[in-house]
Amino acid sequence: MADQQSTERAKMPKGYNPVLERRTVENANRNLIKYLRPGLSVLDFGCGTGAITRSIADKTGPTGRVLGIDPNESLIEQANQQAGNTAGLAFEQADVYSFDTDERFDLVTCARTLQWLANPEAALQNMKRFVKPGGYLAILDFNHEKIIWTPEPPETMRTFYDAFLKWRQDAGFDNAIADHLQVMMHHIGFELVQVEEQFEIAHRSNPNFAVASRLWAEVAELRGPQLVNAGYISEDLRLQAIIEYDNWIATVGESMTVYLLAVEGQQAV
Ligand SMILES: C[S@@+](CC[C@H](N)C(=O)[O-])C[C@H]1O[C@@H](n2cnc3c(N)ncnc32)[C@H](O)[C@@H]1O
């Protein structure tokens, strides 16, 4: 289902977790807010350190049931530690292609994870099995080809970013997955599929501009060494991209718009 190269490249490097830990339902998965209420059951595939999963559990409360799934042992370990004894919240180390249970959920969600899978439609097909009749499958993902920086970032960062997309594509990942999800959801049997823009816009006038737009410097810091080792960029280019991009943020950078779509289907009753 997933070859060794795609599994290796999808693996989240250690230290990447601060990026995941900044996320909540409100700031990073707001498409879910309309569903969340006390007592709901939710299955979260590709939960990482479980930051969004915990935020979901805050809203479903002790009478809810929230299960986060991720194949990365160290992320699941952190997720368990941070969850403590929160009632109704659990994590399990498992892969989206092969995960199985007899349990069915009101809401199955998967954010920013299909972008790391070489066979996203097979993953969607497996996820759909766990949605209760009348329940929802809610996917959130990127089209990395549609990012907009104003003004253009430094040449070194553009080169790094293009190499990152090529490195992903060579492993079989779809850089434009957000725009292909609607058709995939139809293929796996959802008749009505709702698509909502969830762009993440960081503008210099927002207090979080530096942190949000720095995402790509963090990718160069944390994922970048994988690209250097695989021969996609030099170490000099990687370091220069970080320095010059940080300078862009501090001086001329005005905004960054990351293209994300929420694509959702309701299970037949
Ligand atoms: C970018 S993180 C997204 C984390 C979180 N959902 C969020 O939106 O912040 C992608 C996650 O997908 C997980 N992942 C990679 N391959 C997977 C697979 N085959 N099955 C399930 N999760 C996978 C990674 O371990 C990682 O935690």
Question: Which pLDDT tens digits describe the chain residue by residue (269 residues)?
Answer: 457 888 888 887 766 577 788 899 999 999 999 999 999 999 999 999 999 999 999 999 999 999 999 999 999 999 999 999 999 999 999 999 999 999 999 999 999 999 999 999 999 999 999 999 999 999 999 999 999 999 999 999 999 999 999 999 999 999 999 999 999 999 999 999 999 999 999 999 999 999 999 999 999 999 999 999 999 999 999 999 999 999 999 999 999 999 999 999 999 99
The Å distance, Cα 93 to ligand 1 centre, comes to 11
Spatial CB neighbours of 232, under 8 Å, sequence gap ≥ 6? 163, 164, 166, 167
Q: Within 10 A of 187 (CB to CB), how many other CB atoms are there?
A: 11
Query: What single letter denotes the amino acid at residue 14?
Result: K
Per-residue confidence (pLDDT) for residue 16, from 0 to 100: 58
| Angle of CA points 170, 114, 225, to nearest 5° | 50
Only one residue has tokens 């990073």, namely 28
Cis ω for the linkage preceding 151 (within 30 of 0): yes
Q: Whose CA is nearest to atom 1 of ligand 1?
A: 112
Query: Is beta strand 148-150 parallel, antiparallel or unpaired with respect to 131-142?
Result: unpaired
Among 42, 47, 72, 116, residue to substitute to test ligand 1 (most atoms within 8 Å of Cβ) = 116
Residue 32 CA to residue 28 CA, distance in Å, equals 10
Residue 241 CA to residue 155 CA, distance in Å, equals 8
The Å distance, Cα 46 to ligand 1 centre, comes to 3
The ligand 1 atom at the shortest distance from the C-alpha of residue 29 is: 8
Residue 175 CA to residue 207 CA, distance in Å, equals 29
Secondary structure letter of residue 214 according to DSSP: T
Model confidence over 222-262: pLDDT tens digits? 999 999 999 999 999 999 999 999 999 999 999 999 999 99
Q: Within 10 A of 46 (CB to CB), how many other CB atoms are there?
A: 25
Q: Where in the chain are the domains?
A: 4-266
Q: Whose CA is nearest to atom 11 of ligand 1?
A: 46
The Å distance, Cα 239 to ligand 1 centre, comes to 26
The Å distance, Cα 147 to ligand 1 centre, comes to 21
Q: Whose CA is nearest to atom 15 of ligand 1?
A: 10
Spatial CB neighbours of 18, under 8 Å, sequence gap ≥ 6? 218
Residue 55 CA to residue 86 CA, distance in Å, equals 11
Phi, psi of 100 (to 5 degrees): -145, 145
Phi, psi of 65 (to 5 degrees): -140, 120
**Three-state SS at 263:** strand
The Å distance, Cα 120 to ligand 1 centre, comes to 12
The ligand 1 site (C-beta within 6 Å) comprises: 10, 12, 20, 23, 45-48, 52, 70-72, 75, 95-97, 111-113, 116-117
Handedness of CA 167, 169, 172, 175 (dihedral sign): positive
The Å distance, Cα 139 to ligand 1 centre, comes to 12
Residue 210 CA to residue 219 CA, distance in Å, equals 14
**Three-state SS at 92:** strand
The Å distance, Cα 70 to ligand 1 centre, comes to 6
Element housing 75 (H / E): helix 73-83
Model confidence over 160-180: pLDDT tens digits? 999 999 999 999 999 999 999
**Contact at 8 Å (CB) between 266 and 136?**
yes
The ligand 1 atom at the shortest distance from the C-alpha of residue 95 is: 20
Q: Within 10 A of 269 (CB to CB), how many other CB atoms are there?
A: 7
The CATH number of 4-266, from 3.30.420.40, 3.90.1170.50, 3.20.20.70, 3.40.50.150, is 3.40.50.150
| Angle of CA points 259, 40, 77, to nearest 5° | 70
